Structure 1
Amino acid sequence: MNGTSRDLASKVGDNLPFLRRYARALTGSQVSGDNYAMAALEAILSDPHSYDDSLAPKTALFKVFHSIWSTSGAALADDEDGLRSKAQEHLAKLTTGTREALLLHTIEEFPYADIAHIMSVSSTEAKQLVDIAIDEMSRSLSGRVMIIEDETIIAVDLEGIVADMGHKITGVARTETAALELAEAEKPDMILSDIQLADNSSGIDAVNRILKTHGDLPVIFITAFPERLLTGEGPEPAFLISKPYSEDQVRSAVSQAMFFSSTETLRA
């Protein structure tokens, strides 16, 4: 491998975890999201010129991905049981490109100028897509949200953000045991969970036990180290936001997750 190839591999590798996070948020599936990410890598390997070195490394990688995503028809993952049919119905009502722009701006924190490069639109159009997405998705769904978070300030902040979106908060749990009891008292429509809890118990374990009892639910995990959960070495969450988070990131992730009636769980 020559120096140029090594440099390209390094740039792509450094940003691959974030591309995989983005891809699974679009599809609602680890497998489908990773397949799209892999297709982007294969495209770069077969034609290195498809990776635009004049752009920032993350922007260039996401631009390659989007050329594949848009060409494929931006389809969600298929499943034999039709678990995502409800999501498809909701998505059909949204303006084309709005979810992509919203995720790029809020979860991946791209400025409008970079979104414009990635999606091949103008900066003005990129902002318009984000604004439309926020409006359309805020009116699309509401439900009962359970929060698993041991830091009081963060828990209160999350409660306020989610409630302001029109969702009902079923409660806040600080430990795995409390989370199980809360879920038993009132089944949530979605779970927003930290990874490490107050008594050193695991939010991952708590979520998996809740899903085992109550069936598949959309889940958003919050962590200060998202790259540790995006290694590709095992089951990973479909929805993941980083600490410290912004209000827009939480709103976007909650809206995206609510579109999916199932989510792949993460097992420790």
Structure 2
Amino acid sequence: MTLGQELAPHLPFLRRYARALTGSQTEGDAFVRTALQSIVADPGSFPRNLDPRLGLYAALHREWDAVRAGEDAGNEQGRLTRVTPRSRQALLLTAMEGFTPEDAGYLMGCSRASVEELAQDALTEIERQPRTDVLIIEDEPMIAMDLEELVRALGHDISGLAVTHAEAVASARSRRPGLVLADVQLADDSCGLEAVQEILGDFAVPVIFITAFPERLLTGERPEPAFLITKPFQRSTIKAAISQALFFGRAAIPA
């Protein structure tokens, strides 16, 4: 198996992480392209003694760290509007991407204990986030109930629960939410993506998509979500995604 074949299955999830890290499909996918270009330019330097996924994420982190260094030096080229703190980075790696604290430490260049401390700092910060209203677009009742319970546990309110495209748009227009959690396939066979695009046509709001088929929305070939959760999900994953989406506070799908 070639190196490209080994890395290919992990690319959609690398895009997910990079988009969550930057809060943008455009910026996240650009980091992924640059990381891949660095691997193609020097495939012999790719660490073959590591799990391919870990090596792939390490390549992305080298590009990320280079940009952060540029920010510190006042380099205007490739500046990010808002840089994700290391505490949130640790939480995304462990809660969203499922890396162990040891592997996250390898990627971040720190110890397991530091990763755990940073992730806890992020969780503490989440508790201090301003409260907002959340619209849940989900046609599976048990999942909708789980999401509602989690959202309320984080201190947020529910602006509406919708199971169809029409219900979602009507709810958003009647009570503008500060965040949207949306399934992709809805009860009337309509598309959650289309419902969200219509909502974003009225006003900007951060969006997190929840789907059983994340690969379909992580191709990098068209406008796609910046924040995406895979079904079945862990509560910690939802918490991390909500926090990061609110941190950036902008629409997850480009206009």
State whether TM-score is above 0.5. yes
- Which of 60, 69, 74 aligns to 1:65? It is 60
The alpha-carbon deviation at position 127 of structure 1 amounts to 1.2
Q: Is the Cα contact below 8 Å between 1:208 and 1:266 reproduced in 2? A: no
Q: 2:162 aligns with which of 148, 155, 173?
A: 173
Q: Distance in 1 between matches of 2:22 and 2:45?
A: 23
TM-score (norm 1): 0.87
Mapping for residues 87-106 of structure 1, pairs under 5 Å: 88=82, 96-106=85-95
State the identity %: 44
Aligned to 2:34: 39
- 2:121 corresponds to which residue? 132
Cα pair 2:96 2:237 within 8 Å, conserved: yes
TM-score by length of 2: 0.91
For 1:256 and 1:42, locate their aligned partners in 2 and report how far apart those are by CA, in whole Å: 27
**Counterparts of 2:129 and 2:230, CA distance in 1:** 25
- The RMSD of aligned alpha carbons is 1.8
List alignment gaps of at least 5 residues for structure 2. Answer: 72-79
Distance in 2 separating the partners of 1:48 and 1:126: 29
Match status 1:54 vs 2:43? no
Q: Which residue of 2 aligns with 1:226?
A: 214
Deviation at 1:266, TM superposition (A): 7.2
Any runs of at least 4 consecutive aligned residues in structure 1 with deviations exceeding 6 A, and if so which? none
Give the letter for the 1:9 counterpart. Answer: G
Kindly report which structure 2 residues correspond to 1:1-268, keeping only aligned pairs within 5 A, or say none: 7-73=2-68, 88=82, 96-213=85-202, 215-265=203-253
CA distance in 2: counterparts of 1:146 and 1:219, whole angstroms: 10
SS at match of 1:231: coil
Alpha-carbon shift at residue 123 of structure 1 (Å)? 1.3
Could you tell me how far apart the structure 2 residues matched to 1:266 and 1:13 are?
25
Aligned 8 A contact 1:112 1:123 in 2: yes
- Is contact 2:227–2:252 with CA below 8 Å preserved after alignment? no
Task: Tell me the CA shift for residue 264 of structure 1.
Answer: 4.0
Q: What is the Cα deviation at residue 29 of structure 1? A: 1.1
**Paired positions, count:** 246
Cα distance in 1 for partners of 2:191, 2:242 equals 21
